[in-house]
Amino acid sequence: MDQEVKEKYMKAGKIAGEARDYAAEIAKPGKKILDIVEAVESLIKAKGAEIAFPINISINDIAAHDTADKNDERVLGENDIVKIDIGTHIDGYIGDTARTVAWSEDYQELIKSTKQALEEAIKLCTPGTNLGEISSVIEKTIKEAGFKPIANLTGHGLDKFNLHAEPTIPNVSFKTSYTLQEGQAIAIEPFATTNEGAGLIKESVEKKIFMMLYDKPVRNQHARQILRIAKTRNGLPFPLRWVPSSGIGLRIGLKELLDKNILYDYPILKEIKGAPVAQSEHSIIVADKPIITTKTEKF
Catalytic machinery residues: 85, 96, 156, 164, 189, 281
Rounded Cα gap, residues 289 and 40, in angstroms: 30
d(CA 155, CA 179): 15
Helix ranges, the chain (H): 3-26, 33-46, 108-122, 131-144, 221-231, 247-259
Strands (E), 91-198: 93-102, 148-149, 154-159, 162-170, 185-188, 191-193
**In this structure, how many other beta carbons lie within 10 angstroms of the beta carbon of residue 232?**
12
Element (H, E) at 279: strand 277-279
For residue 200, give the nearest of 225, 166, 170 by alpha carbon. 170
The one-character DSSP state at 179 is B
